[in-house]
Amino acid sequence: MKLSVHVCEECGNTSVPARLICPSCRAVGFRKEEIEGTGSVYTFTKINISSVEFKHLTPYYVVLVDLISGERVTGRIKEEIQINDKVELVDIEEGAYIFKKCG
């Protein structure tokens, strides 16, 4: 699944999610690009107990994923994982990136 990133038209810095001002050069012009949603787990934490609105998801993992294109995004994954596991984006639910293990 592809993921939208916002690319500064002045310096080329990429942002996920969208920003109003580029953190690198302070420009305000952006264009959207689609990138592959695959990468590796940088770090994670397992959520065993959560608030009422997320109780139906527990247990689950909150992950930081280094995408192959260089961006780092936060997401959620249901299956057990380790650092450096390969993952891919499979869905976006209410703004949350949902990943699964590759292979």
Residue 60 has pLDDT above 80, yes or no: yes
Average pLDDT over residues 50-74: 94
Mean per-residue pLDDT, 28-34: 95
In the predicted structure, residue 18 carries a pLDDT above the cut 90: no
Query: What is the rounded average pLDDT for all residues in the chain?
Result: 94
Residue with tokens 């994982």: 81
Total length of the chain: 103
User: pTM here?
Assistant: 0.87
What does the angle CA 22 – CA 94 – CA 39 come to, to the nearest 5 degrees? 65
Q: d(Cα 53, Cα 44) in Å, to the nearest integer?
A: 21
The band of 103, judged by pLDDT with boundaries at 50, 70 and 90, is: confident
Write down the pLDDT at residue 17: 83
pLDDT of residue 101: 97
The separation between CA 30 and the C-alpha centre of its own chain, rounded to angstroms, equals: 19
Of 103, 74, 56, 58, the closest CA to residue 3 belongs to 74
